[in-house]
Amino acid sequence: MATMGGQKTKLVPFKTEKKAPLLKAVDPRVRHIQVFVESPGFNLAIISCVLVDVLFFCLEFVEDAKDSITTVGFLSVGGLVILIFIVEMVLKLWCYGCGGFFAEVWNIFDFFIVVITIVGYAVEIATVDDEESGSSFGSLSNGASVLRLLRLARVLRLVRGIQAASKLVKMQQTKISDVKLPALKCIEILVKIETALEKSSPLAEEMGAYNVQMEDVRFIVTCIQSNRLYTPNLQDGNVMDKENAEYLNSHYNVQSRQRRKSDDEKKEGGPPSRDRSLSVAINVGGALNGGKMQYLKQGEFKLDHLIKLVHLEDKDSSLLKKMADSIFDWEFDIFECARLTNNRPVVFIGMWAFKALGLIDEFRIKEAILFDWLGAMEIGYRNNPYHNNIHAADVLQGVITYIRMCGLENVFTPLEVFSCVVGAIIHDYQHPGVNNKFLVNTGHSLAVQYNDISVLEAHHVASAWKHTTDEKKNQNIFQFIPEDDLSLVRETIITIVLNTDMAFHFKNLGMFKSKLQMNAISQGAGDAAFNLEKGEDRKLLLEICLHCSDIGNPARSFNVAQKWSNLVMKEFYAQGDEERHRKMKVSVFMDRFDGELALAKCQKGFIEFVVRPLYEQWCEFLSTNEKCNKTNGGKSGAQVFLSNMSLNHTYWSDQVTLLTEAAEKKKENGKPGTPSSIPGSAPKNAPAAGASST
């Protein structure tokens, strides 16, 4: 008896099906014999013996057969069949044991029939030459012979067993052979090509004309088998310096990396400090103005009203108007926007974007709720050098520029535009100012909560969604979205924000690039091509859209990119200082004592190996997609992005060259290098690009 809620409850055993006989031992030989006696072939042999036995039994009643076959012939065949039955019984008794074998009714019946058959066979032998003495045993012999007919019932059971076993084998073969993985199919095709190349076939000669070697085919097979199609070889051709390779590899492998002891840890023999006090709890109280403003009716929205909402009456109205008119311009100065809006760029740009893109009307969002929600999201960004509310506003402004200026509003549905805009606003919500690697290595509670996988990105989405849907806060911008649409919105936001993790950068870039290349080859035909009618391809495009805006500082104008570079390195150095304080190995590019050359390599490498390859594919899509170029917006936008990036990359390449020469001269003169000049304020000629520390 068990108690539940103070009352006694009777435990009722579960009804289970009768189990098959168990092996009496785990001896491998016994198992092999069991497999043999349960195989369809063995059972077919037993069925054949039963049928032969029954056939000869029937022939005993046929006069012609009795004349042609002697009694000794009948007995010889019967003896052979009986011997086979005895071997069958012995093998099964050895495999299952007496308890296991006799646990099944059919086995008892079969054993009984075999015993009676043996007795009848012995009686027949004893009465062959003695007809008088056989009179008493004849009836017993005939009765045993009649019982042999009952073995036909066992034939039916064996046939059903064979059919069931064959059906199971067929199902297993279907799972393996019929349901083929695309990767296995590709390997099969490539193996055929490899075989053809090994022979002097016309195919080998034709492929040789295109400089396709057997090593190329084997390389493709290896890539498919390793499941690392989109993992770049960072040292391929030695085109990347050691520092950039280490930086990118540490970000890409953050999910599968095991922490290694630092040099300081090895010396002192103790682990680094795993202080979990790094808090990301933010007070996200009410709206910026306490929700006491008088809001206009739905559908009415003007700049003057927004100025009153954000309390910007003391600002120059002409500057505010100029700023509002350029919100969808890529050359928008986000730092000037933060200054003019009293450090409320998320609220200002967010309110303007939601109205201008028609999202307020489309999703019946109450203006008061939207304003309060934007204010809460903005307050949720910590006062970090880089990952702060200005960065959130910058990413938001980049996304809406892609949508409006580059024509993506003709590609995305209103639901997708809404999801992308919300994702941009919350994508770094409550960011602590350190990266995923730091949280994992220090055993932070967030890393434990999210199992070391996309720790920050998962927290950004989860915490922002929890705040938004909290009924007590009355800031739910999703409240009038139908349930089915809301599920799609949530799925899209989660996907695009999680994919801002740099661990997915090369994978997503590889997928996007391969699809665009297939478009060029097949003119948009085939499953491998990029197809905007497919949900997975549209989701990939949304991921690329947000990711491009998130790491797009090098595509901004020189002055804006210069400021972002200074801020990101300041945050890098702050994390490096914390790592040094905890006696951890300082992450690459985060040690302020590495000097200006390391800083220049960081910015140059980030543009060269991360941002530029991504933007080249992004601009390829914007330039060639018809919907993006109804007003030529895609092409013009792509030209601006690549032009700015080229300028910033040239600047940093020159800096690396100059600083390398200066370092070599100092080394010759025996003078040490100088630490970076970015402890706080931005120096003159600051870097022109910013590397993401996501």
Comparing 269 with 402, the larger pLDDT belongs to 402
User: What is the 3-state secondary structure of 498-557?
Assistant: HCCCHHHHHHHHHHHHHHHHHHHHHCCCCCCCCCCCCHHHHHHHHHHHHHHHHCCHHHCC
pTM higher than 0.75: no
Quick one: how many helices (H) and strands (E) in the chain? Answer: 30, 2
Q: Of the given ranges (191-200, 318-327, 561-570, 588-597), which has the lowest mean pLDDT?
A: 191-200
Comparing 640 with 522, the larger pLDDT belongs to 640
DSSP state of 237: G
pLDDT of residue 62: 62
Mean pLDDT for the stretch of residues 579-594 = 93
Q: Of the given ranges (23-27, 214-218, 428-432, 491-495), which has the lowest mean pLDDT?
A: 23-27
pLDDT digits (tens, 9 = 90+) for 103-134: 777 677 777 777 777 777 677 666 655 554 44
Could you tell me if 689 and 652 are in contact, meaning their C-beta atoms sit under 8 angstroms apart?
A: yes
- Residue 592 CA to its chain's centroid (Å): 36
For residue 537, the tally of other CB atoms under 10 A from its CB is 16
Long-range contacts of 22-27 (CB under 8 A, 24+ apart): 22/96, 22/100, 23/95, 23/96, 23/100, 24/95, 24/96, 24/97, 24/100
pLDDT digits (tens, 9 = 90+) for 189-204: 777 776 766 666 666 6
pLDDT > 50? residue 419: yes
- Paired tokens of 496: 């695009």
CA distance 648 to 669: 32
pLDDT of residue 240: 63
> Which position has the token pair 């800096």?
655
pLDDT digits (tens, 9 = 90+) for 259-316: 344 444 444 444 445 444 444 333 333 333 333 333 334 444 578 888 888 888 888 8
* Percent of the chain clearing pLDDT 90 (strictly above): 42
Mean pLDDT for the stretch of residues 326-334 = 95
CA distance 515 to 509: 10
pLDDT digits (tens, 9 = 90+) for 209-253: 656 666 676 677 666 655 666 666 655 545 566 666 666 666 554
**Domains recognised in the chain with CATH numbers:** 28-174 (1.20.120.350), 182-229 (no CATH), 236-260+503-694 (1.10.1300.10), 289-498 (1.10.1300.10)
With a CB cutoff of 8 Å and minimum separation 6, the contacts of 359 are: 353, 365, 414, 417, 418, 421
pLDDT of residue 686: 40
CA distance 201 to 26: 53
Mean pLDDT for the stretch of residues 571-598 = 93
pLDDT of residue 291: 34
Three-state DSSP at 467 gives: helix
pLDDT of residue 198: 65
Rounded to 10°, the helix 505-522/612-624 angle is 40
Continuous segment of H or E residues that includes residue 638 = helix 633-669
Rounded to 10°, the helix 414-426/535-550 angle is 30
pLDDT digits (tens, 9 = 90+) for 132-164: 444 444 454 555 555 555 566 666 666 666 666
Mean pLDDT for the stretch of residues 571-590 = 95
